[in-house]
Structure 1
Amino acid sequence: MTKLDGKVALITGAASGMGKAMALGYAAEGAHVVIADLNVEGAQAVVAKITAAGGSASARSLNVADEVQSKEIVDAIVAEHGSLDILVNNAGIGLIKPVWETTAAEWDRIFSVNVRGLFFLTQAACEPMRAQKSGKIINMASIAGRRGEALVAAYCASKATVISITQSVAMAMAPYGVNVNAMAPGIVDTPYWKEVDKQFGEITGKSEGETFRDAAAGIPLGRTSVPSDVVPLAIFLAGSGSDYITGQTYNVEGGIVMS
């Protein structure tokens, strides 16, 4: 048996990057994976890759900032599959901007996805998991949530809040046998980081790729992350090996932040 046989997993923002990598990893371990993303075409491409490899997956459109959609997708999954065993809150957005130039609208947009969206999708998932008296919730935090950064204040604040929410929900769901943990990636070579590099360059005057190279130089393990680096931990936190672990945030970033 593989580690996640018979489990039903919902992963947000799974059309690309780390979400896609986790979806492929979960499917390889026997889970049925629901790929939820605003990019439905990309989500369907991930489903096609999983099914071609003999796995099981489906694609759904989801705007995590809309709590009605979050409730609807959880209800639909439970109606179709009978359970929701794993939720990975991976969807997120960023902003690179000086503190004194960040607008209220930009702040609200970051928090609408990274915090509000994560919380209310988690809330929706808690209902079937409480009834099942089992489940695994995995939130994507960031090393940005471990410390502030001058040009990333809103994003850092949102990811610090994710760590706090992880702890609160872990305490609330512990009596129901549900484990809630988080992962904090670092500098990951994804399309998202290419946009981050571009935004940093517009502010600092650095050339394309220079911010990414500078960040890589400070990683003790000597390289930046790739999306597959988070997969082993994501599988562990979704499986039975983490049954006695809850409320924790694990750094997966090559040693940048040692805590």
Structure 2
Amino acid sequence: MTNPLFDLFSHHPMSGAKEIAIVTGAAQGLGRAISLRLAEDGFDVAVNDVVSNSGTLETLVKEIQAKGRSSSKHIADVSQEEAVKEMVEEVVKIHGGLDMVANAGVTGRPGVPFGQIPAEEWDRVMGVNARGTFLCYKYAGIQMVKQGRGGRIIGASSIAGKQGMLMQGPYCASKFAVRGLTQAAALEFGPHGITVNSYAPGAIDTPLLAAASVTGDPSEIIKKSIEKSAIKRVGVPDDVSNLVSFLASKDAQFITGQSVSVNGGIFFD
């Protein structure tokens, strides 16, 4: 006797005939790597970023299309509810459905002592990283339940969402929040055949790493990460996109509510 729920997991859009993913914060770094990897895996990929990255996003669309996949550009600030709702509706209108990779994120201002962090800085970081992830999970989840075919929601946590970091209070809080959202959403969407997981990178050599440095030079962060790492190298975007590729596949159908570390063995959990 077949299990209808198993059928949902086995035939969700990320393993069926028409595979569609939206990747937020896709213009550079991890988002770009994830988008290209999913295209190589056979997905049509809708890509999102803010208006200042519009040109870079357009280039990414062309790169995805060059791989033989359909792609579309969606400019939206994920911290704004109506913008996320409209983005999801646009993607569905163009591509006929979606699964979600909520990758968009910002770093906190590095080197600011806890007692000197402005409330506005807390609002900025939490707005994109926590509120933005919540909104993407929410509206993707609503749509995916309507689709009735199961699927995947994947978010971006961090090493800073598993272990507190000096002078990074808002960023740590926002990434710990993603882990909680991921677990709660996994429980709610699981009965619909939808898995919800997140990836928790360590230091990855991307433009975001430079933004996390007090001097704007990520070399010191890279050096310290290599010293702590069991593998003795810094991460590269493909290390994360490889994990997302797996989480998006049918092979990951029995994994949900997890925030998977990809940190080179800086610590074990």
Range class of TM-score, shorter chain: over 0.9
Are the counterparts in 2 of residues 170 and 180 from structure 1 also a CA contact under 8 Å?
Answer: yes
- 1:208-250 C-alpha deviation (Å, 9 max, x unpaired): 6223322222111110001011122111111111111110111
Q: Which of residues 58, 69, 73 in structure 2 aligns to 1:59? A: 73
Q: Residues of 2 paired with 1:231 and 1:143: CA distance?
A: 16
Question: Which letter does structure 1 place at the counterpart of 2:157?
Answer: A
Is 1:10 the counterpart of 2:22 in the alignment?
yes
Are the counterparts in 2 of residues 27 and 57 from structure 1 also a CA contact under 8 Å?
Answer: no
Give the equivalent residue in structure 2 for 1:20.
32
Partner of 2:212: helix, strand, or coil?
helix
Is 1:233 the counterpart of 2:243 in the alignment?
yes
Partner of 1:58: helix, strand, or coil?
strand
Gaps of 5+ in 2: 1-13
Q: Residues of 1 paired with 2:95 and 2:221: CA distance?
A: 44
TM-score normalised by length of structure 1? 0.92
Is 1:219 the counterpart of 2:229 in the alignment?
yes
Give the equivalent residue in structure 2 for 1:190.
206
Question: Which letter does structure 1 place at the counterpart of 2:173?
Answer: A
- 1:126-168 C-alpha deviation (Å, 9 max, x unpaired): 1111112312000110010001112111101110010000000
Are the counterparts in 1 of residues 160 and 172 from structure 2 also a CA contact under 8 Å?
Answer: yes
Gaps of 5+ in 1: none
Q: CA deviation at 1:5?
A: 5.1
Equivalenced residues, count: 251
Is 1:89 the counterpart of 2:102 in the alignment?
yes
Q: RCO greater where, 1 or 2, for CA within 8 Å and sep 6 or more? A: 2
Is 1:250 the counterpart of 2:269 in the alignment?
no
Give the equivalent residue in structure 2 for 1:30.
42
Q: What fraction of aligned residue pairs are identical, expressed as a percent?
A: 37
Partner of 2:137: helix, strand, or coil?
helix
Q: Which of residues 125, 132, 141 in structure 2 aligns to 1:126? A: 141
Partner of 2:235: helix, strand, or coil?
coil
Are the counterparts in 1 of residues 201 and 240 from structure 2 also a CA contact under 8 Å?
Answer: yes
TM-score normalised by length of structure 2? 0.89
Within a 5 Å distance, the mapping from 1:94-173 to structure 2 comes to: 94-95=107-108, 96=110, 97-133=112-148, 134-173=150-189
Change (3 A) 1:172 1:29: same
